[in-house]
Every structure is written in C-alpha cells, then in structure tokens.
Amino acid sequence: MPVISASHEFDVSDLFVNLQPFFGRRLFLKVEGFNFAGSIKLKAAREMVAQAEAAGALGPGSTLVESSSGNMGVALALIAANRGFRFLCVTDTRCNAVTRRTMESLGAEVHVVTEPHESEGFLGARIRHVKALLADDAKKVWLNQYLSPGNWMAHYRTTAPAIARQFPDLSVLFVGAGTTGTLMGCARWFRERRPAVRIVAVDSVGSVTFGGPPATRHIPGLGTSVRPALLDESLVDAVVHVPEADTVRTCRELTRHGFSFGGSTGTAVTGALTWLDRHHGDTAGRAGEQVTAVTISPDLGERYMETVYHDDWVTQALGPDSLTPAADRRPARTGATAGLEPVSG
C-alpha cells in the first residue's frame, strides 16, 4: 500500500476490465478513474504543470487558467490546491453541477460560458474568454491543454507503456478523441515501438475533430467544436464516430454488469465494438477471438448521475429511444448508427 503526501501522487495504472463476457469480443478496458481527481486528466495535468514550472512560466503568485469541460478542471484544481496556486477554470453549461462544485470545493474559481461562439461552439467561446482573462492580468498562466506537448507526453510516458506491458499480443488500440492528448501520446509510442498495432480513434457524432459536420453534443469529454492543434492524423489508422444515444446505451449496459463508467467510456466502448463487429463480423467468431483489443476508460460514472444515468435528462436531450437497452440495438450499431472512416494521411 503506497504512502503519499500529495494527492496527485496516487494513480492506479494497471487495472483492466475484461469485457468479453459482456460483449463477446476480446476487448479490455483500461480503467483510469481511480485517483483523487477521478479521471485520466490527472496525468496530463501533472505533466503540464511540471513543464510550466520547469520553464519558469509558473511560480509564486501565479494563477492557473484553463478551459475545460470538466475533468481537466478538477485535475488542475487538485494540483493547484496542493502546490499553492490559484486556479480559474473556464467551462460551459454542459459541465455538470457535481464537477463544478468539486472544483470549487478545492478552491478553484469557475467561470461558466453560457453562449456558444457562432462558428466554433462552446470551445471557441471558452478560449476567447480565457484570452480576455490573460489580457487583464499578467500573472495568469494558461497551460493550454489543446496545444501543450505535456498533454500527449504524459500518455507517451505512462498510458501506452502500461498497455503494452499488460498486452504483448495487442492488435488494436481504441482511444477516445477530445483534445487528442491521450490519442497522440499512445499513437506515437506504439508507432515507434509496436508499429503493427492499429490505432483507431473514437469520436462523437457532431465533432469536427476529423472533419465531420458540426452538430449539437450534450455529453462532455470527447469531441470538439474546434479542430485540436495536437492532432496528427497520420498516426491514426481509422476513426469511428459514435452517436450520443449509443453512448448512453453502452454506459447503461455496463451498469447492468456492475460497472459504472462515464460518458467518454460509453463512447469508447461503443466505438471499439463497432470496429470489431465491422471488421470481423458476428458470424466470424474465431477471427474475432484472435484479435486482442484495448480501449481506455477516462473516468467513472458518479459525475454523470444527473445526465447519462438520469432518464429525464436522456429523454429531453437525446429522445426516449435512447433509453432502449444497447443489447436490443446492437445490429443497428454495427450498421449505420456509427460512422467508420479511414483517415487519410
């Protein structure tokens, strides 16, 4: 049992869930929610803060500023509390109340953007708000998770090697795409050391990350309304786009087996199953069993009780059909409900 003196020092890095008994595919889920920030974002937050301190950009009297849909904000609030910095998070109305209160309980100041930018959505509006804050105060420091190399380096150094150690026979890695820090860090590591592993990005329908048409998205975490500066599409073999209704169904199917995960996990698992179904077919069991696949769970489900796991919210945001159990709709998912596209280099 480890003994720590700083909350950000603890992180469970070697926990995987075997999803084959539930979904019939050799798919393993890397669980990243067991730390005091509650999500994978703690890794990137640690790395970005360390780089900013080493560069002299962050020091006594500084105020950290970051745009976040939720989890990065909590991670930075936790580190700021430990390191003695002030922290100001710029989020938007999709960030749930539990997450906002968690940041505030850690001493953060939270600004909620209520109106999206006309062409760049809530993310564009948040970034403009951050830039206005920086212009007013030279002591404010923007780590900029959308551009900072620390975002992807954290996963290059930790997440990808942990997966490779556990699964020497890995065939395909599915990674949800938000800022694309996790995706790029893992993709770079495997391209250099295990190039035969296929890298498949999982994105939300309505996200513009891989050139898709913008549309309203309700579940924070994956997807963007502004193309991420970190993204290098040459490192990605394919992309799966997942409708949010399928995200909800998969999250709820996992709870029926005793696992409560966040919205991004539902998207990532749905995308992985879509790709595996499309490439190996439900009738080709032997071929499917030969593939060892891993995807990543960024966080757990407790912050989504009022959204993904709340019937009224789901019905209002996504329609009553979204409450239909995933198992009853799997043939639809393997067909037209999720987009599967190769990525051109």
For the record, the structure tokens of 43 come out as: 């890794």
Amino acid letter for position 158: T
Q: For 200-210, what is each residue's pLDDT tens digit?
A: 999 999 999 99
The DSSP line for 55-112 is TTSS-TT-EEEEE-SSHHHHHHHHHHHHHT-EEEEEEETTS-HHHHHHHHHTT-EEEE
pLDDT at 338: 43
Q: How far apart are the first and last CA of the chain?
A: 46
pLDDT at 282: 37
pLDDT at 221: 82
pLDDT at 289: 52
Q: Per-residue pLDDT for the chain (345 aa), expressed as one digit of tens each?
A: 688 888 888 889 899 999 999 999 999 999 999 999 999 999 999 999 999 999 999 888 899 999 998 999 999 999 999 999 999 999 999 888 899 999 999 999 999 999 988 888 888 899 999 999 999 888 899 999 999 999 999 999 999 999 999 999 999 999 999 999 999 999 999 999 999 999 999 999 999 999 999 999 999 889 888 899 999 999 999 999 999 999 999 999 999 999 999 999 999 999 999 999 998 643 344 444 568 999 999 999 999 999 999 999 999 999 999 998 865 544 334 333 344 555 543
Q: Say if strands 238-242 and 339-342 run parallel, antiparallel, or are unpaired.
A: antiparallel
Sheet containing strand 109-113, edge to edge, reads 109-113, 86-92, 63-67, 140-142
pLDDT at 123: 87
Nearest to 117 by CA among 176, 67, 182: 67
pLDDT at 35: 96
Distance between CA 345 and CA 340 in Å, rounded? 16
Amino acid letter for position 94: R
pLDDT at 326: 63
pLDDT at 120: 86
The whole model's pTM is what? Answer: 0.89
pLDDT at 283: 34
pLDDT at 341: 57
For the record, the structure tokens of 261 come out as: 């995960």
Q: For 42-86, what is each residue's pLDDT tens digit?
A: 999 999 999 999 999 988 889 999 999 899 999 999 999 999 999
pLDDT at 343: 52
pLDDT at 215: 92
pLDDT at 61: 84
| Structural domains for the chain | 7-35+149-342 (3.40.50.1100), 41-142 (3.40.50.1100)
